[in-house]
Amino acid sequence: MSVMVTKGAPETGSAPISSHVRGYLDRVRGGDVGALPAILGLVVLCTIFTILRPAFLSEGNFANLFTQGAAVTVIAMGLVFVLLLGEIDLSAGFASGVCAAVLAVLLTNHGWPWYWAVVASLVTGAGIGLVLGVLVAKLGIPSFVVTLAAFLAFQGIVLMLMNEGSNISIRDDTILAVANKNVSPALGWLMLAVGLAGYAAVQLWQARGRVSRGLTADPISLIAIRVAAVAVIAGVAVYVLNQERSRNAIVVSLKGVPIVVPLIVVLLIGWTFVLRRTAYGRHIYAVGGNREASRRAGINVDRIRISAFMICSTMAAVGGVIAASRANSVDPNTGGSNVLLYAVGAAVIGGTSLFGGKGRVLDAVLGGAVVAVIDNGMGLMGYSAGVKYVVTGLVLLLAAGVDALSRKRAAATGLR
């Protein structure tokens, strides 16, 4: 206490950029590495795969990355909520399978319109989350056990819904479009422009509001750098995706941003808003950081925990719909095999802590990109599924190791 800098009121005005950079470096050195490993991993992996297999960088493969990684990324986004509480949902993979099966059965066997089938699928997801959450929060069974049991049970439910092993194909054009169609190039640019303008406007509006009240705010130059960085990355992505990818463009043209991309961006913005800007999101972090403190602060801890499981399973349902769309069908293994571990891996690789209290929805997207790149790149290299599993498992272990080490380091420097 006595060694701290003496300052009565908070700093006012804008601090120079150099102090922001220094602050960031201090945080990294102190163990708060955030998404840095994921971004570095992404750069390294992409470089290696591009050198070994130039086809990795082709427009067609770039678009593939998004559609391949979409389902896992969306499931991982939901898992972030459960991980933030220091819990785990091992059933998210097969929950997505159950929801996809519900969708397929209603669409194909019962002829429901696509929107009601999707609603039913999402409601199924929410219901699954409600049951899991109540068992964890009200009964006090560890989430690991509850969701491990659910993992097994849901596998059985998918089998039963699929009539013991047959698969159900999906013929609804709207559902199929989600993972297989693209938005027109012009619309892609328009969405990018609107998104960037909105991002810049929100940042500037916030900074101005804080400066006008005499609080510290990010300098305009820092905001400009941030917006410019996003603009360059997103702009290049949209440009590449708007190139013709079809081998035979006259017969069938294939260009534009895959529909899953704006879908993921909307989910990312929406959930980030919930976590960062609402009292509910604040309470999720608080319960993950100190459950007893949250209870004493009057937060309904049980309700927060149950709702987090509901968000997780509902997002799994969205992931299930995307997976069904991409595969054009649902089979007993939808949401099975590696889906769950890829999703948990995505969240953790992105920087979400397995110990709770730390993580962002963006982590799931960055980590999902890493997982998709590994899966895709190793496929191009001709490695078998076995090797892919081993490598992804090692990467997950590496990410969890970085998480544990950064916690230790943070504890040593007194940051956590």
Residues that bind another protein (CB under 8 A): 1-2, 4-11, 209-210, 213, 215-216, 277-279, 282-283, 285-286, 288-290, 292-294, 296-299, 357-358, 410, 414-416
Q: Helices 59-84 and 301-327 meet at what angle, rounded to 10?
A: 160
Minimum separation from the CB atom of position 31 to another protein (A): 11
Q: How far is the CB of 35 from another protein (least distance, A)?
A: 17
Residue 40 or 215: which CB sits closer to another protein? 215
Query: Least CB distance from residue 297 to another protein, whole Å?
Result: 3
Closer residue to another protein (CB): 60 or 209 = 209
Q: Would you call 165 exposed, middle or buried from its count of C-beta atoms within 10 A (0-12, 13-18, 19+)? A: exposed
Query: Closer CB to another protein, residue 56 or residue 285?
Result: 285
Per DSSP, the residues of 217-266 read: B--HHHHHHHHHHHHHHHHHHHHHHTS---SSTTT----S-BTHHHHHHH
Instruction: Report the residue number, 41 or 359, with the smaller CB distance to another protein.
Output: 359
- The least CB distance from residue 406 to another protein, in Å, is 13
Q: How far is the CB of 30 from another protein (least distance, A)?
A: 8
Handedness of CA 118, 376, 348, 358 (dihedral sign): negative
Query: What would the two tokens of residue 69 be?
Result: 């990684």
CB 96 within 8 A of CB 365: no
Sign of CA dihedral 313, 319, 324, 330: negative
Using alpha carbons only, give the angle 136, 140, 145 rounded to the nearest 5 degrees: 60
Q: Which CB atom, from 216 or from 328, has the smaller least distance to another protein?
A: 216
Three-state DSSP at 67 gives: helix
Q: Smallest distance, Å, CB 20 to another protein?
A: 13
How far apart, in whole angstroms, are the C-alpha atoms of residue 298 and residue 311?
Answer: 22
Which CB atom, from 388 or from 416, has the smaller least distance to another protein?
Answer: 416
